[in-house]
Structure 1
Amino acid sequence: MDILTPDTYWIDDRCYRRNPSKTRCVAAQQKFWSSSENNSAGKNDKFPSLSSSSRPPPGLQKQGDTGGNGQNKPYVEEDEYGFCVGGSDELGDNDNEYLIENKGDYFKSICDNVPSQLYAVVIGTKGSTKSRLEKETKTKIIVPRQNAKGFIEVEGRSILTVRHARRRIDELMWQTRIKCDATHFACFPVNSAAVIQRIKDFKEEVTSRIAGADPFLFLEAEKCHITICVTTLFDEKEREKAAQVLEQAQKEISKQLGHTGKITVHLKELEIMNDDPTQVDIVYAKCHDKGDVLQQMADYIAKKFDKSGLSRQARGDHVKLHCTMMNSLKKAERLIPDKTDQSFPSESVKFCKKISRKTFDASQILKEFKDYDFGVVDITEIKLATRFTSGPDGFYKCFRTIPL
């Protein structure tokens, strides 16, 4: 791992470093455990994992231990999930990270950010994942029964252990989210009548002039759009959160840019996502935006989604503005039935297996249609659209439409 550019991941609005190994942490904890004494005998009946024979949670040092200067110092060691145990984190610098209630003899936190569709992921096969998390974090995790209302609850003997368990659950949710196929995406629709006709003309010209051009690789003209970011939303709460993030981001960036109303974009010239024109997944039209207003708006919205924890992956500094014309996934997506905006997201956990795609040869298409002009379109709104759906206007069904 490059120390200057480590791997990172986002959970909600927090960024964590992904450490390459937990060997250093485990060795330090074993050294600490070997010299610690358990002072909580008789107080841990509520938490089996904190019995008198158990080791204390990482970062809790027995009283009387001193540092090199003779003063009491907490043990500080960065764990594999990117935070310090026993250091400033334990002392309360991040107390507002989660809402943790003091119940007298224990602490409690409610995981209201975990959708009910993923409760089974927290439980694991025959409760194995839940048991492992409880053992490793020295907490008790309470998961509502099937079809019962409520949220997952975490209980522990200290704020540190509860916070540790919450972070472990958050990372588990993030790992599951990126394994599932995307359900929604934020986009700028480009489905004006003139552009739609030009896209249809393009498809007709390619299929008639290029031997072997597969018509199923083309996107429906009415569904063409400029993607800002994609996301996986499992329930109504997450969809509403994504819509709120989108609305707030649009208001903030419009105010910063001092721009309201439509943005004119010229769709011209074909390009591919990779370097080999004989092994292509996507052929797209370039988006020419005067003043880079659309680019700045897309970048700002994408970063807001990243920080909210709803984006599937952290991206670079800029969104690649493009309007997809041909996609190798289109043939695979034909096998997936159309889903309504309400039913598909709730069933999306069933689609965690990635859709397979097969590349195609676009060399002749690029040679003959490289400078194809799709025309000028006025961007007037942002949509939070649902994949694998079709609305009455031919575009995707949308959970929220936000005017510029």
Structure 2
Amino acid sequence: MSKLVAKSLQGFNVVTVQGRHYRVAAASMDYQGDRAPASKPEKRHPESQVEDDTELHTWVEHPVSRSMHGYIIGKGGSTLKRLKHETGTRIDVVKGEDFVKIKGTDENIEQARQAIDALVKESIDKAQATHFLAFPIQSPLVSRRLEEFYKILGSPSFKEDGITPESIAPIPSLHITLGVMKLMGQSEIEAAVRFLKESAAETINQLIGERGLTVRLKKLDIMQGEPAKARVLYIHIQDESENKILNELCASLRNQMMEAGLLEKEKRPYKMHMTLIKKTGTKPKHHHEEEEEAQSDSHGWFDARGLLKEFRGMDLGTVTLDSVHIMKMGQNKLGQYKSEGAVMLDSAL
């Protein structure tokens, strides 16, 4: 890991498992035997307490984000009991701390570490995305042209099967997605924002300099499948900045965030886009368009043939990208996403 990544992710380590990067809380170093006890009493989960065993001669603290403690404990403490039994160790889950305590022989402790890490990895893999990295789109010209387009979609003379008001992206929510994130708790959100403001700012400074970043939003398209059963309708992003640096910037930011274990690695090649219409099927509303396409629900599609025939060459105009945000999934009543933190492109110069 680079020094910059390590600095930006203070409090977390990044481990690589089967080619994927994961964050683990680096709350403390291992300690043994005679070390001084903590200055404050520990609050242990009731399920984690067992009788002390003097034959288990070694204590260590193993980093586990407090947001993952529930997965370690399991329903009624069942998972924790199983871990103890299978590894022959004592495991204490300490409330409010980003670690668990393990006591046992060196061999058994290592076995417990691997079992806990595998459980955390499995839990993260199954978790839904909570945030996404994006350039917000804020332009009076784009808003005005898109309002005109939306009026056509809502007119009685325009009928396309499957297009409903709920499937049309609100203008305040428009953005260019860079990728989705799974941030498990406030400490991970803060670490991600800190990483963005430190590491991403340096990348932006190196690539953009004083040139600015302008894009044109032009040409409608669908993500995958047949236009008759489309799930996502988007508009292409055309780089109009000097030296055409947008693709390089996006690739650098995405690679940095994935290396830090913050951005999820996608199954398909990255496609820069701004979503205008999306169908979610039976998925919860907070899902993002990149995940929604896999939904097989028969109601999760719309007929885009008429749209593409009449409006494929749509041009919403140009917009200057002025910031990169970590945004929380789920829009408010005004159709806006909450920003957890951002880097202003001009402030990085």
TM-score (norm 2): 0.73
Q: In structure 2, what is the equivalent of residue 173 of structure 1?
A: 120
Q: In structure 1, what is the equivalent of residue 80 of structure 2?
A: 130
Distance in 2, matches of 1:158 and 1:202, equals 68
Distance in 2, matches of 1:136 and 1:292, equals 56
By how many angstroms is 1:386 displaced?
Answer: 1.6
Determine if the alignment matches structure 1 residue 202 to structure 2 residue 202: no
Distance in 1, matches of 2:108 and 2:130, equals 34
By how many angstroms is 1:120 displaced?
Answer: 1.9
Match of 1:103 among 33, 36, 47: 33
Tell me, yes or no, if the aligned pair for 2:167 and 2:278 is still in contact at 8 Å. Answer: yes
By how many angstroms is 1:121 displaced?
Answer: 1.3
Tell me, yes or no, if the aligned pair for 2:66 and 2:99 is still in contact at 8 Å. Answer: no
Structure 1 segments unaligned to the other structure (5+ residues): 1-10, 19-95, 337-353
Q: In structure 2, what is the equivalent of residue 192 of structure 1?
A: 139
By how many angstroms is 1:402 displaced?
Answer: 1.3
Q: In structure 2, what is the equivalent of residue 403 of structure 1?
A: 344
Distance in 1, matches of 2:18 and 2:307, equals 43
How do 1:3-402 residues align onto structure 2 when only pairs under 5 Å count? 13-17=14-18, 99-103=29-33, 105-111=57-63, 113-116=64-67, 118-144=68-94, 148-157=95-104, 161-208=108-155, 209-212=157-160, 213-257=163-207, 259-260=209-210, 262-290=212-240, 291-311=243-263, 313-315=264-266, 319-329=270-280, 358-390=300-332, 395-402=336-343
Matching residue's letter, 2:322 = T
Matching residue's letter, 2:272 = L
Tell me, yes or no, if the aligned pair for 1:271 and 1:285 is still in contact at 8 Å. Answer: yes
TM-score (norm 1): 0.64
RMSD: 3.2
Tell me, yes or no, if the aligned pair for 2:196 and 2:342 is still in contact at 8 Å. Answer: no
The percent of aligned pairs where both chains have the same amino acid is 25
Query: Per the alignment, in what secondary structure is the counterpart of residue 248 of structure 1?
Result: helix
Higher mean C-alpha deviation, range 291-300 or range 379-388: 291-300
Q: What do the CA deviations read for 1:197-228 (whole angstroms, capped 9, x no partner)?
A: 22222222233353144222110011100011
Return closer, same or farther for 1:152/1:12 CA change in 2, 3 Å cut-off: closer
Return closer, same or farther for 1:149/1:373 CA change in 2, 3 Å cut-off: same
Distance in 1, matches of 2:172 and 2:203, equals 28
Q: What do the CA deviations read for 1:357-401 (whole angstroms, capped 9, x no partner)?
A: 712221221121111111100001111112223398x63221112
Larger Rg: 1
Distance in 1, matches of 2:146 and 2:234, equals 11
Tell me, yes or no, if the aligned pair for 1:391 and 1:397 is still in contact at 8 Å. Answer: no
Question: Which of structures 1 and 2 has the larger relative contact order (alpha carbons within 8 angstroms, sep 6+)?
Answer: 2
Tell me, yes or no, if the aligned pair for 2:66 and 2:96 is still in contact at 8 Å. Answer: no
Q: What do the CA deviations read for 1:116-171 (whole angstroms, capped 9, x no partner)?
A: 3x322111133222123233444322113xxx433442324455644543343333
Query: Per the alignment, in what secondary structure is the counterpart of residue 85 of structure 2?
Result: helix
Query: Per the alignment, in what secondary structure is the counterpart of residue 330 of structure 2?
Result: coil
Structure 2 segments unaligned to the other structure (5+ residues): 1-11, 20-25, 35-56, 287-294
Tell me, yes or no, if the aligned pair for 1:177 and 1:232 is still in contact at 8 Å. Answer: yes
Matching residue's letter, 2:58 = Y
Query: Per the alignment, in what secondary structure is the counterpart of residue 278 of structure 1?
Result: helix
